[in-house]
A and B are shown apart, each in its own frame.
Chain A
Amino acid sequence: MSVERALEGTGVWLDDRLHGARGVRVLLRKVFPDHWSFLLGEIILYSFIILLLTGTFLTLWFQPSMTDVIYHGSYIPLRGVRMSEAYASTLNISFDVRGGLLMRQIHHWAADLFMAAIMAHMIRVFFTGAYRKPREINWLIGIVLFTLGMFEGLFGYSLPDDLLSGAGLRITEGILQSFPIVGTYLAFFLFGGPFPGHDIIPRLYILHVLVIPGLILALVTVHLFLMFHQKHTQMPGKGRTNENVVGAPMYPYFMAKTGAFFFFTFAVLALAGTFAQINAVWLYGPYNPVAMSAGSQPDFYMGALEGSLRMFPPWQWVFFGHTFAFNVFVPALLPLGIVFGGAAMWPFLEQWITGDRREHHLNDRPRNAPTRTALGIAMITFYGVLWAEGANDIIADHLDVPLYLTTWIARVAWLVAPILAYIITKRICLGLQRKDAHLLEHGVETGIIRQLPGGEFIEETRPVDEEALAVLTSRNVPPPLPALVPAETDVPPPGMRGRLGKVRERLYNVVTESVPMPEPHANGHGNGHGNGHAVEGNGHGQESLPAGSSPEPRSGEDQH
């Protein structure tokens, strides 16, 4: 009772000052829809929090300094070796601070998980169409966060100033130098003179611990606020429409579930940090510009960039006394530019092509947007080829394939594989749509064979149940193109005129290519479907979209 009184007292005290009772009450009942794929975003958030916690711990001992010191610490193999203070303090954290190695390893694993979860989350959002209006801003923020995460990671693993990360910085310098006109200036300004100089570690340090995390934190906050404000999307299901959100309330359900998920994320990272050694910098040795070991790999999220640099043919132009390092500049910027730029433009391109400017809160099933899904898989394939090429020496070694052959495969595959992936994916999607249409049209096979009085055998089928029906019939049908609407005049409507209009019409036909939905039977078809008839449509399909369709106020169905 006294706890209750204390809580009430605190609440009253706060409400007197903040007028929070009304708003917070609504907040407590805020509905969060459930789907396993919605957890991917949470992994990002929690690994970011773990990064902040472990990172703060590491800063207590890390010395961002390139001053030469002779190592005298506990790691015997490196005693007496000349190294930078940054490297020495990293050894110190690993071998002389209790829990230091664990925190370092959790920090590094968390960074990898952060990037992996961003990728998975982006893929989920893309394939379910969750980036559509009104969520384009959050999609763009996500792409910026991905880019920031790449730099944050690169700068972070460069800080220990070990041999491996030093090579990464050397490559960074080389890429900067390849920029036309300003390249050498950029490199000299970043490194404070010729490579490696003595400034780069302190500079990366402040970027890594303050500037970029600050930006990420700000953008994550906006991202979450928008998600909160716009309400989460939901997967199709019975009782779920474009006009409602079905799920468990935030308090206590979502809070407890997401809390548990935070613990799970931390547990997995702690397990990884305990049992899976990562970035063992003491084995690499301190950086020096003369040494390099075979099989050097960046962290996985830089792999695509690495592969792109490895794969590109040796093209370089010299004109008017200037060198344009085409072989560095283009592969450093173009492929990732295509991936990120393409991702950023797609929502707007899709809107323009389909003319679909409605709000979408009910997610698409990937098969129901075959072209989008195929484009996404093509992009993943494109990225994947580059990524694999980034480890081609390891692949060549383990699979016993000639090294140069792997490069040639990548050179061909980065152009061909995405096209194949597009075609195959689209076929698979359309096939799955056909299967859905078949289910809707003919019902579920029961396995019961019946002999009709005339001697004919038929198989019993039964209509799908309401939950499955809601999923199967949830398909977003884009509005027809203006030109396809019968018009009184011969003049095409605006947006469809000229050559651009033709292009748009053609793209529209590609983007909206789908297997036609079976004719929905009239409503009121009722529940008493006769059995035994192969053709048995289902009337009460919820069209996924049309604004103002009657929303079902509440559902008592079993979901999950």
Chain B
Amino acid sequence: MSDTNSPGQPGAGESGEGSWPQYLSRGESHGATASGASASSAAEPEGIRGPRRVIGTPSPATARTLLAPGEGEPRREVVVRELPAEPEDPAHAKRMEKVVAACFLIAGLAGFAFLVFYGTIGVGSITAVTHSNLALGGSMALMFLLLGIGATLWVRHLMPTVELTEQRHPMHATEEERAAFKETFEQGAEASGFVKRPIVRRSLMLATLPLAIAPIFLLRDTGPLPGTSLDYTVWRKGQRLLIYGTGRPITPAEFSSPGSIISVGPEGYLDDDDAMAKAAVTLIKFRPGELVFGPNRKPGGPSTPNTVVPNWTVDNIVAYSKICTHLGCPAALYEQTTFRILCPCHQSTFLATEGARVIFGPATRALPQLPIGVDAEGYLIALGDFNEPVGPSFWERS
């Protein structure tokens, strides 16, 4: 079916590209008419004379698609494209057949190469994995790519261009069908007695009620009740602060450079993720005078939020919970010059010199302070648990 160019159009000589030239050739045909009658006259509305385009007017691409055929131009013939049909240009199709076959063949080779690479390239080291990944992935990608290209060329160049039109029908059924359905449904309902025997209906509903709730009951044992466990950590009076990573205890003298920060945990719990998820502590060393004590400090008493309790510090070392009070990420970043502790998850920022009060971000509460002291051997120890729950807020927290 190569008759997409309507008779009389000189566009047939333009190219062998099937049906596209309809748009392209329109310009050509204009050229032909224009050269036939070159005189331009206002009294002669049909047929456009003169150049097709001047600067500042729609580009040929737009003009081609927007302009309707002018008077005197041959009307395009509406071509019905339906199966069965032949490709528009058999010679072109013959050429493309080879290209498609080449794509598929190379795809097959790439697939074969994948198998070979799988067999020959081992893994077990970073280098080997890098090579294996490159070879396997490269050959696999090439295979799929060529399969896709081949199939696309096949559709576009080997198959005849076909366009079908299918009719839609309203989604809804006809009135009669609906009526029939209603009748059938009601007959069934009537026969079942579901409506007219309420005792059957209600007792059934009652019977299925436990079934609906049962899954909730069955999920009960997925975990223990929280109780007051969120209020406490494993820190106890006298417990040594061990450096996270090395597991060694630490003396104030060892931790002497101001501005430094260290993560510690309670003795015996460093490898216990459940305990550490609440008990992780940041030790920060300050220069004398840097720590600011709030006005309502009560030595030895509970630390009100924006206050560092002075006798809970040892030699200008302060211990704050490392667990962010926003969502529990480790507030792990510390800026020495500004004394800011920053949580990398949501950027809650705490001022270390002022009781780790919140100075920016979504957290609402200061990082709890751990009371610390030194034991007889001079190592840092906890003087007790935090006096408020650590980590994110929760409903039962008062």
The reply to whether A102 and B133 contact each other, CB–CB distance below 8 Å, is yes
Residues from chain A with a CB closer than 8 A to the CB of B322 are 290
Residues from chain A with a CB closer than 8 A to the CB of B53 are 446-447
The reply to whether A270 and B165 contact each other, CB–CB distance below 8 Å, is no
Contact with B along A82-121 (1 / 0, CB 8 A): 1000000000001111111110011000000000000000
Stretch from A179-187, A377-385, A479-487 forming part of the interface with B: A179-187
Contact with A along B117-155 (1 / 0, CB 8 A): 010011111100100111011101111110111111011
A346 at interface (Cβ–Cβ under 8 A)? no
Residues from chain B with a CB closer than 8 A to the CB of A61 are none
Per the 8 Å Cβ criterion, residues 324-366 of B in contact with A are 326-330, 332-333, 343-349, 358, 360-365
Question: With A171-B327, A361-B168 given, can you name 10 additional A-B contacts, CB distance below 8 Å?
Answer: A74-B123, A185-B226, A231-B168, A245-B166, A289-B273, A291-B263, A309-B326, A314-B361, A328-B327, A556-B81
The reply to whether B332 and A291 contact each other, CB–CB distance below 8 Å, is yes
Q: Report the separation of the CA atoms of residues A393 and B273 in the bound assembly, to the nearest whole angstrom.
A: 28
Residues from chain B with a CB closer than 8 A to the CB of A313 are 362
Contact with B along A190-218 (1 / 0, CB 8 A): 11111111010001000000000000000
A–B Cβ pairs within 8 angstroms, 8 of them: A30-B166, A197-B223, A245-B166, A270-B141, A310-B362, A323-B394, A328-B327, A553-B165
The reply to whether B123 and A264 contact each other, CB–CB distance below 8 Å, is no
Q: A31-B164, A244-B165, A551-B167 are in contact. Are A293 and B50 (CB under 8 A)?
A: no
Task: Tell me the count of chain A residues lying within 8 A, CB to CB, of chain B.
Answer: 147
Task: Tell me the count of chain B residues lying within 8 A, CB to CB, of chain A.
Answer: 124
The reply to whether A270 and B144 contact each other, CB–CB distance below 8 Å, is yes
Q: How far is the CB of B25 from chain A (nearest CB, A)?
A: 11
Q: Report the separation of the CA atoms of residues A275 and B141 in the bound assembly, to the nearest whole angstrom.
A: 11
The reply to whether A448 and B222 contact each other, CB–CB distance below 8 Å, is no
The reply to whether A188 and B333 contact each other, CB–CB distance below 8 Å, is no
B265 at interface (Cβ–Cβ under 8 A)? yes
A167 at interface (Cβ–Cβ under 8 A)? yes
Closest to A77 in B: B126
A295 at interface (Cβ–Cβ under 8 A)? yes
Stretch from B16-24, B183-191, B249-257 forming part of the interface with A: B16-24
Q: How far is the CB of B149 from chain A (nearest CB, A)?
A: 8
The reply to whether A256 and B332 contact each other, CB–CB distance below 8 Å, is no
Residues from chain A with a CB closer than 8 A to the CB of B154 are 256
The reply to whether A328 and B332 contact each other, CB–CB distance below 8 Å, is no
By a beta-carbon cutoff of 8 Å, the part of chain A in contact with chain B is 29-31, 68, 74-76, 82, 94-102, 105-106, 134, 167, 170-171, 173-175, 177-185, 187-197, 199, 203, 230-231, 239, 242-249, 252-253, 256-257, 259-264, 266-268, 270-271, 273-275, 287-296, 306, 309-316, 318, 321-325, 327-328, 331, 359, 361, 392-393, 403-404, 407, 439, 444-448, 450-453, 460, 462-469, 527-532, 547, 551-559
The reply to whether A295 and B145 contact each other, CB–CB distance below 8 Å, is no
Stretch from B60-68, B198-206, B308-316, B375-383 forming part of the interface with A: B60-68
B71 at interface (Cβ–Cβ under 8 A)? yes
Residues from chain A with a CB closer than 8 A to the CB of B91 are none
B293 at interface (Cβ–Cβ under 8 A)? no
Closest to B276 in A: A289
Q: Report the separation of the CA atoms of residues A451 and B42 in the bound assembly, to the nearest whole angstrom.
A: 8
